[in-house]
Amino acid sequence: MDSRPASPRLRLLIADDNAVSRMIAAGLAEKLGHAADMAADGEQALRMLAERHYDLVLMDCEMPRLDGYAATRRLRALEGNMRHTPVVALTAALGEEERLSCLEAGMDDFLCKPLSLTGLEEVLARRSPAAADTRGTSETDGLEAVARHLGNRHPELATLWLDDCPHRLDALRSAVADGDVMGAARAAHALAGACASIGAREVSAQCQEMERQARGGHAAGLADRLARIEAGCAEVAARLRQMLQSSVQS
């Protein structure tokens, strides 16, 4: 007997040139109660995105004809300031160079292959309130989940985040202080991706909300949102430093 919900909570588009990978991703999405359509390359994905609404796209980075980076850049150009479809990169390796390439292309988050049910569930919870786990995990849970996933590479990523975050916060502060709503939207988007990559789900969600506010031209309230983001980043930084210290001691 099928125990999935009668009405899927989200509709996903899975863009991957590997048929097996597409089927695995679709199966995991459906197991979580979501609907999934599939595209074999970036060009097909863009055609499908033009024809119907998708709540989120799982985008393989390396595809023939049009890869995930180029497809995401085209999607962002087409969307402009009118909307923002979350795009999650599917990649076999997530080093700093790959992470930056994804963010520069306009992607919002990352999933490493091979996909797991837990990994997909976590990224959907970060990127869509409708998919959030009703058990209510804490920010520390997200940080520790990423640490477990990365293993001995986590200290490097945590150090990069600690070095990078102050600069991203400075850019966000400057944009808010200057009343530059589109600059604030861009800075919030970049910080949201950086926070998501380290597992800081709550801060990432706050940044996404600021981006939505700013793209809608709503300058009022951005300062209050910034204060919450700053406090969240401070808490995340403190926890990451604790984790780094523990890794050195062990």
Q: What is the DSSP string of 102-113?
A: HHHHT--EEEES
Quick one: 101 and 172 in the same domain? Answer: no
**Which residue, 101, 118, 135, sits at the end of a domain?**
135
Any domain includes 2: no
Q: What gap in Å lies between CA 143 and CA 121, rounded to an integer?
A: 15
Average pLDDT, the chain: 86
Q: Which residues of the chain have pLDDT under 70?
A: 1-8, 81, 94, 128-140, 249-250
> pLDDT per residue over 27-59, tens digit each?
999 989 999 999 999 999 999 999 999 999 999
Question: Can you state the angle between helices 222-249 and 201-215, rounded to 10 degrees?
Answer: 160
Are both 62 and 151 inside the same structural domain? no
- The answer to whether 165 and 233 have CB atoms below 8 angstroms apart is yes
Residue-range definition of the domain harbouring residue 190: 140-249
Q: What are all long-range contacts of 203-209, with beta carbons under 8 Å and residues at least 24 apart?
A: 203/139, 203/229, 203/232, 203/233, 203/236, 204/126, 205/126, 205/129, 206/232
Judge contact between 89 and 162, C-beta under 8 A.
no
> Is-contact 154 209, C-beta < 8 A?
no
Is residue 1 included in any domain, yes or no?
A: no
pTM for this prediction = 0.54
Task: Point out the domain boundary residue: 135, 161, 179.
Answer: 135
